[in-house]
Copies of this chain bind each other. A is one copy, B any other.
C-alpha cells in the first residue's frame, strides 16, 4: 500500500494531476519509488472515492483539461497514521544477482557485456542525481538556508547517490571476478 502514501506525500508537496504525478515519479520520487501512469490513475480514483483526495477540474488552453488532485483532511490523517506505524525493512530483488549465480552453468564471458550495460546505466543515474543535488541543494542557485522539507529531500537524494556509488563499485568487482574466471579482458567502462 505504499504507493498510496507516496502519492499523498507528493500531493502534499504540491497538488497536481495524474499525468504530472507520473512524471514526478520518473524524476525526484523515482530515486526510491517507481510507478506507471496506470497504477497512479487507478490509485487516485480509489483514494478520491474514499475521500482522501479532493479533485478540481482545471480547463486548459491548447491542451486537454486536467484533474488536479490535492490531499483532503482524511488523507492527511491517513498519512499521519501510517507514519507512526512500523514498517518492515525492505529486502532486495536483484535480477542481475540471479544471472551472476546462473552463469556458473553457462559461459561467464557471456555476461560481461550485460554487466557493463548496467554499469553505464547506474553511472548515468549517478550523474543525474549529482546534477540534481547541485541544482537544488548545494550549488550557487540553491536556496541558501534549506527548510526542513528540503533537508529531508536532500537526505533522501544522498541515499540515492550512495546507492548508485555502491552499485557501481560492486559491478566493478563483478567484472573483475568474471574476468578472472573467464580469462576475458574486461573492456573499458565509463
Contacts and interface: CB of A to CB of B under 8 A. Distances in A.
A92 B32 contact: yes
Interface in A123-151: 148-149, 151
Interface centre among A82, A90, A101 (most CB of B within 10 A): A101
A180 B93 CA distance: 33
Contact of A9 (B5, B101, B108, B159): B101
B95 A2 contact: yes
A185 to B, nearest CB: 18
Contacts of A174: 155, 159
A160 B25 CA distance: 27
A5 B102 CA distance: 8
Nearest to A180: B151
A40 to B, nearest CB: 14
A100 B155 contact: yes
Given A2-B98, A9-B102, 9 more contacts: A12-B102, A12-B104, A13-B104, A30-B91, A82-B102, A84-B110, A87-B99, A87-B114, A90-B93
